[in-house]
């Protein structure tokens, strides 16, 4: 494969449950990002990682956590899902933080 | 605060030309990006401007004026497949992208 994959494609989740969204890239990009996209709003950055082993908080980090154990994988975890986390989640990557970002296909998450 | 403004929706005719504007106020400036997003799909990169002026890439061109905090995306010879949302994003002083809400472009035959 070439590019970024995300799993699952879509998920319906009960409030209070824990959920991990997976993101894998095979481009050996150093930087990775998690965004959420809600109707009428621009993409909002949740967390980012400029290189393996480091992570940072974006604009809307509350309720989410990430890890970056290696270059390829950047999972996003919702510890206890709430309905306001219903959204489409996109993972992206770039060679470095100064390069163009490329997006995965997204995960549509519904929290009931 | 940081702000990116672009029209919510525009309509144009197949074969015509359309200009989508974007104005921005951000903490620092390290480049402006345009992405295309078809409904239900991921954003895909279209263009990048960091210096003032026009960047041309086939049917698509993007213009930047840093002094005015302004950019536009120009689409020529519109095709039905150009029906999509167009997202403007500015890279700020922290090298984070600040995104506009997107402009939905509807192409009519």
pLDDT tens digits, B75-85: 999 999 999 99
A83 phi/psi in degrees, rounded to 5: -55, -30
Q: Is A13 on the interface with B (CB under 8 A)?
A: no
d(CA B46, CA B49): 11
* Token pair 């470095």 in the structure block, residue: A96
Could you read off the pLDDT of B14-26 as tens digits, one per residue?
999 999 999 999 9
Sign of CA dihedral A2, A72, B85, B7: negative
Nearest-Cα residue of chain B relative to residue A90: B42
Residue A8: asked if its preceding bond is cis (omega within 30°), the reply is yes
* DSSP string over A81-95: --GGG-EEEEEEEES
DSSP 8-state assignment for residue A98: T
Q: To the nearest whole angstrom, how far is the Cα of A94 from the nearest Cα of chain B?
A: 12
Question: Cβ contacts (< 8 Å) between B89 and chain A: which residues?
Answer: 42-43
**B16 by DSSP, 3-state: which?**
coil
**Which backbone phi and psi does B80 adopt, to 5 degrees?**
-60, -35
* Of B6, B2, B1, the residue nearest B101 (C-alpha): B6
Please check the confidence at residue B2 and state whether its pLDDT lies above 90. Answer: no
Q: Do A90 and B43 touch (CB under 8 A)?
A: yes
* pLDDT tens-digit map of A8-32: 999 999 999 999 999 999 999 999 9
Q: Which residues of A1-40 are buried (b: 16+ CB within 10 A; e: fewer)?
A: eeebebeeeebebeeeeebebebbbeeebbbbbbbbbeee
Q: Mean pLDDT in chain B?
A: 96
In sequence order, which residues have a C-beta less than 8 Å from that of residue B62 and are 6 or more positions away? B32, B34, B46, B47, B48, B49, B54, B55, B71, B72, B73, B74
> Å from A40 to nearest chain B CA?
6
Residue B99 and residue A97: Cβ atoms within 8 Å?
Answer: no
Instruction: For A106, name the nearest residue in chain B, comparing CA atoms only.
Output: B42
Asked if A40 is an interface residue toward chain B (Cβ–Cβ < 8 A), one would say yes
User: Could you list the pLDDT tens digit for every one of the 112 residues in chain A?
Assistant: 569 999 999 999 999 999 999 999 999 999 999 999 999 898 999 999 999 999 999 999 999 999 999 999 999 999 999 999 999 999 999 999 889 999 999 999 999 9
Residue A99 CB contacts under 8 Å (≥ 6 apart), including other chains:
A29, A31
Phi, psi of B30 (to 5 degrees): -135, 35
Which pLDDT belongs to residue A1? 52
């Amino acid at each position: 494969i070439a590019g970024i994959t995300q799993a699952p494609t879509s998920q319906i989740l009960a409030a209070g449950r824990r959920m991990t969204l997976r993101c894998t890239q095979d481009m050996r990009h150093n930087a990775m990002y998690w965004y959420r996209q809600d109707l009428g709003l621009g993409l909002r950055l949740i967390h980012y990682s400029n290189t393996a082993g480091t992570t940072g908080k974006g604009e809307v980090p509350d309720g989410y956590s990430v890890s970056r154990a290696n270059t390829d994988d950047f999972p996003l975890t919702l510890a206890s899902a709430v309905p306001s986390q219903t959204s489409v989640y996109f993972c992206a990557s770039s060679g470095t933080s100064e390069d163009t970002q490329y997006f995965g296909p997204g995960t549509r998450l519904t929290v009931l | 605060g940081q702000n990116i403004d672009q029209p919510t929706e525009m309509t144009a005719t197949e074969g015509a030309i359309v200009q989508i504007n974007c104005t921005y106020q951000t903490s620092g400036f390290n480049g402006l990006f345009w992405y295309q997003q078809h409904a239900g799909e991921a954003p895909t990169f279209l263009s990048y401007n960091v210096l003032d002026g026009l960047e041309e890439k086939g049917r698509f061109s993007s213009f930047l004026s840093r002094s005015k905090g302004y950019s536009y995306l120009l689409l020529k010879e519109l095709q039905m497949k150009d029906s999509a949302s167009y997202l403007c994003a500015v890279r700020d002083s922290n090298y984070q992208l600040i995104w506009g809400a997107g402009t939905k472009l509807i192409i009519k035959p």
